[in-house]
Structure 1
Amino acid sequence: MEFSQDKPNYNISLNKFESMLKTNNVLFFDSEEFENIIHHYLNQGKVALAKKAIKLGLEQHPTSTNLKLFKVEVYVFENKLKEANILLDGLYQLEPSNEEIYIQKANILSKEDKHEDAIKVLKIALNISEETSEIHALIGMEYLFLDNFEDAKQSFMRCLEEDPEDYSSLYNIMYCFDFLNQNEEAILFLNKYLNENPYCEVAWHQLGKQYFSIKDYKKALSAFDFAIISDDTFVGAYLEKGKVLEKLKRYKEAIENYHLTMELDDPTSFALLRMGCCYEKLGQLDLAKQYYYKTVKEDPLLDKGWIAITKFYTKQHNYQKALYYINKAINIDAENVIYWKLYAQINHRLNFLEEAERGHKRALDLGNYELTTWISRTDILLQLGEIDAASYNLIQAAEFYPENPEIEFRLAGIYFQILEVEKASYHLKNALTYNKDYLFIVEELFPLVYNSITFQKALKKLQ
């Protein structure tokens, strides 16, 4: 059911069909012409035109199984699964050995989330098909839906055995290896594949990524070099090679590779960002700054760009500039937790305590439940004199971090400060049990409490 573009008259058929639609003159096409026309429209996503071609095709060739299978395909696309099943059942009675009937049946079962049943049907198709690569690929996809990555991997490997240039299957195989954390197995597989296909730039590229994952940067570099030798316009290989060179602290060479990607294709925000990082590592701060600006201009939605430029100014102790850029980032994406954490840290450095507290609260509201966020917000609330808010914040933190001495010592200090001695003693006992080395927290944050007779008596009693 492929659209035969190698035939010299396929364009003639298509133009003739479209001309017929415009003039309402009914012209005759043989069934193969209709099949090619329908296939073309489906590939183009022009379903309405495909449906017209199917309708006219079946009027002229009412017994054509292939045209009816196209009708099934459209039914499935439109989620009319009942109609598709009825038509398929009729076709099965006529041609029980037609593999396409089983493929479409499996497609319906997959749509119904019956992936195991879909696999069973596709295995029947395997037994009656001469060309099995496509069916193995479909089986592989069904296994992926079931999160059965091992069997999926085996199915895609069979595709690659039949067609070594099936790079889609190669990518799927590597996806399965990665999900299963099978780096060593992936490396063995790729090396074996490359012994038979030594100029496959895709395989060299994937091999380099596997070596990068296990931090074998020298072998990763060699693999990316071979990918570039196989295809010197392979942008992805230059990008990955740049990443490896950065790990090896060869920043000038990394910049050269990132720059090459811009000569081969439009600049990417990733390459611009990495160049900025490399220039910063080399101490060329003006160039680093320029590339960070270019990064956020190229892709304002790339959070790594805004984070990089904010941290750049923070390292220079230019907190006003850092605050300016993190505010711009927040205006673009107010749901980004990292932005709010940086916002809090910068405002804290500037001694804008209320804004710093607001940043930590937003980070918590967005689901950032790291201990440092709870603790930092508590300490700022204490500085602001918000004792009740600080204690409530710590009680919430204790739900996520039970038996934590940093939380317990702070709660003890707060309750001693507001003279709730019973609660204070309870939390002090807990804190000393968990880790008495954190006692300095009370001394630093609550010096009056620490030096009080009440606290020292309680401490002596519990130690």
Structure 2
Amino acid sequence: MLSGNSTSISANNKNTNINPQKAITGGFWSYLLSYKYASPDDNTEISGSIKDLSPEFGYDEAWYGKASTYSKLEMYEDALHSYDMALAINPVRTEAWYEKGSALDKLGKSEEAMECYQKALDIDPQSSNAWYGMASTSSDLGRAEEAIAYYDQLLKLNSTDSEALQGKSLALASLGRYDEAVACFNPLLELEPENVEALEGRAFALARSGRPEAALEDYDVIMKLDPTNSKALAEKASLLEELGRYDEAALTYGEILEITPENREIMYRQGKALEAMGDFEAAIACYDKILALDPKNIDAINNKGFALSKMEKYQEALATYDKALEYDPDNPAAWYFKGCANFAISSNNAALECFNKTVQLKPDCITAWYNKGYLANVLGDVNESINSYESALEIDPDSPSALYNKRFSHYRIKEYDEASVCKAKLDSLDPGFEAALQNRGTRIFIPQTYRGNLDYPLPLRWYGGEDNVSLNTSTNMTPVSQELNNTSSEPEEEYEETYESYTESGEEGYWYIPEPDEDQNNKSPENRGQKKENDADNWYVPEPDEI
């Protein structure tokens, strides 16, 4: 094998008296490589027999041919040496500059490649190969704007250059210029209607430019041309999910699984589509398939637990989360959703323990801090409740829910100045927040959808329809709607009795705490008549059983 200046064994054993004219028609490069002319600085006399070659023959031709052969064999370092030899002899050989650039590209030396392409263009501004090299390398470097300009130069030379049209289209799509990308894909697909890569690119651009139905048509064309194209099927299924057509998405994921039956990612995505349809049992079947292949797949276990919770099978959900924690004791998602399941069965102490563990493992989880504060207040640990809300506010200082709840925790222990600070900030952020509660108070946060990274934001509003309520808040709340201002530090059963007494009296189970300046009838009997008007220092916040 050739390398650098060395020659092959067969070349070294060649008869150097061979006639050069015969060498041209057989073993030409091996014949030339049998000589010692190895570098531009080597002044060794060439054999007289070389002089018998045609006058049109240039010595750079041998090095260029050797370089091209190395490139075809993917021996790029050796190719670069030979290109350098050819260019030392003939520095204006355009194709040698271009091919040297291509070899450098293959070695990941993109900036050096660009210099070679530019050298080729300096010699021949009409070199389409060099323009294409500039364009494709710029695109690979993430310089899409430059790439588009180079593709435009190619299209000036030939408006039907399919490679240039495709490259420009993809560059436009990468910049989010989807309408322009579609306009560029269209003439390409007129030229090449069965170009699957172009169809995939146009489908993506159509979907992103707000034309999903046209995108779905392109995906259907792709599947007719390439029935086993699982990538296109996955993109189609994802688009169907975006459109809320979860049943079709689930079926499409099923088609992919016929092609790749052990594709766990697709099983997972099918499960999520089925969840979105409300078919939690079928979703669990998908997660079970994953677990049959990978029993320790924590994400699949947690998703199964979440689906069980949505079916109100809380004990099974808890057992599932415990299984996840056997494999990964420090998995914050398992602790978090176990806390939610414990809350659903009124195990507030257990729920609080889970949220405590969650914030230890993931201290930036604002909803875990919020839930911890909520439960601490319910269980009578008001100072811990305040501390938890302060941690939530460190993550989002402008959270209305955390400010509102922290304010009433301060009220409970008669820290009125601190409560007033919270109220003032809340009013400056959202003057209508309290009125939107409609005398019902806030709620604990129970997610409606599963997110393994727990990056849920707190709701901006809790009631009033889709426009006011965060989509992450469960619309299937647990029957025990626990509120902030239960002052009892007794076990959970006492809290449930309080809740029941409200529902029996026609209330909805929400506690409302009046403001200091509200109706005097809401004051406790022992304080009634003692408070002077505008005396904000001595007002009393009634307990739930006094309202």
* TM superposition score category, shorter chain reference: 0.5 to 0.7
Structure 2, unmatched stretches of 5+, are 8-37, 40-62, 88-92, 440-511, 536-547
Equivalent in 337, 350, 360 of residue 321 of structure 1: 350
Say which SS state the counterpart of residue 533 (structure 2) adopts: helix
C-alpha deviation, 1:309, in angstroms? 1.9
Aligned to 1:343: 372
- Which of 53, 63, 68 is equivalent to 2:100? 68
Unaligned runs of 5+ in 1: 1-11, 21-25, 41-49, 411-437, 457-463
Residues 170-181 of structure 1: pairs in structure 2 closer than 5 A: 170=200, 176-177=205-206, 179-181=208-210
Give the RMSD, CA atoms, in angstroms. Answer: 4.6
In structure 2, the partner of 1:31 is 67
CA distance in 2, matches of 1:455, 1:68: 86
Aligned counterpart, 1:454: 533
1:190 aligns to 2:256 (yes or no): no
Shift of 1:379: 0.8
1:401 is matched with 430
Q: 1:134 Cα shift? A: 5.4
Q: Matches of residues 269-348 of structure 1 in structure 2 within 5 Å?
A: 269-282=298-311, 284-295=313-324, 304-348=333-377
1:94 paired residue number: 123
Q: Which residue of 2 aligns with 1:235?
A: 264
Contact residue 203 and residue 218 of structure 2 kept, 8 A: no
Secondary structure at the aligned position of 1:147 is classed as coil
In structure 1, how many angstroms separate the alpha carbons of the residues matched to 2:206 and 2:397?
31
Give the SS at the match of 1:232.
coil
Matched residue SS, 2:354? helix
Distance 1:146 1:207, change over 3 A: closer
Query: 1:385-440, CA deviations, whole angstroms, 9 ceiling, x for partnerless residues?
Result: 22222222222223321465559x99xxxxxxxxxxxxxxxxxxxxxxxxxxx994
Q: Does 1:56 align with 2:92?
A: no
Superposed, 1:217-228 pairs within 5 Å as 217-228=246-257
What is aligned with 1:353?
382
- Work out the CA distance in 2 between the residues paired with 1:229 and 1:377: 53
1-side partners of 2:85 and 2:171: how far apart? 36
Q: Aligned equivalents of 1:403 and 1:218: distance in 2?
A: 39
State whether structure 2 residue 197 is matched by structure 1 residue 166.
yes
Q: Amino acid of the residue matched to residue 233 of structure 2? A: W
Correspondence 1:387 to 2:416: yes
Alignment-mate amino acid for residue 427 of structure 2: A
Aligned residues of 1:137 and 1:159 also touching (Cα < 8 A): yes
Give the match for residue 150 of structure 1. Answer: 179
Q: Which has the larger radius of gyration?
A: 2
Task: Report the CA distance between 1:205 and its aligned residue.
Answer: 3.1
Q: Which moved more, 1:331-340 or 1:302-311?
A: 302-311
Give the conservation status (yes or no) of the 8 Å contact 1:174–1:206.
Answer: no
| Deviation readout 1:297-339 (Å, 9 max, x if unpaired) | 7678975444312212222333333333333332333222223
Look up the match of 1:259. Answer: 288
- With over 3 angstroms needed to count, the CA separation of the structure-2 counterparts of 1:381 and 1:272, relative to structure 1, is same
Instruction: Please state how far the C-alpha of 1:91 moved relative to its aligned partner.
Output: 1.4
Partner of 2:239 in structure 1? 210
Where 1:454 maps in the other structure, the secondary structure is coil
Shift of 1:372: 1.6
SS in 1 for 2:428: helix
Q: Which residue of 1 aligns with 2:230?
A: 201
Mapped contact 1:37–1:53 kept (Cα < 8 A): no
Give, in whole Å, the separation in 1 of the partners of 2:162 and 2:338.
Answer: 49
Contact 2:97/2:119 (CA < 8 Å) preserved in 1? no
Cα distance per residue 1:260-296 (max 9 Å; x no partner): 2344568544322221223334555454234324546
Taking the aligned partners of 1:444 and 1:90, their CA distance within structure 2 comes to 86
Q: How has the CA–CA distance of structure 1 residues 218 and 400 changed in structure 2, closer, same or farther, with 3 Å as cutoff?
A: same
TM-score (norm. length: structure 1): 0.67
Bigger mean CA offset, 219-228 vs 348-357:
219-228
Contact kept, 8 Å, 1:159 with 1:166, in 2: the verdict is no
Q: Which is bigger in relative contact order (C-alpha 8 A, separation at least 6)?
A: 2
Kindly indicate whether the alpha-carbon contact (under 8 Å) linking 1:72 and 1:104 is maintained by their aligned counterparts in 2: no
Q: Show the 5 A alignment for 1:39-54.
A: none
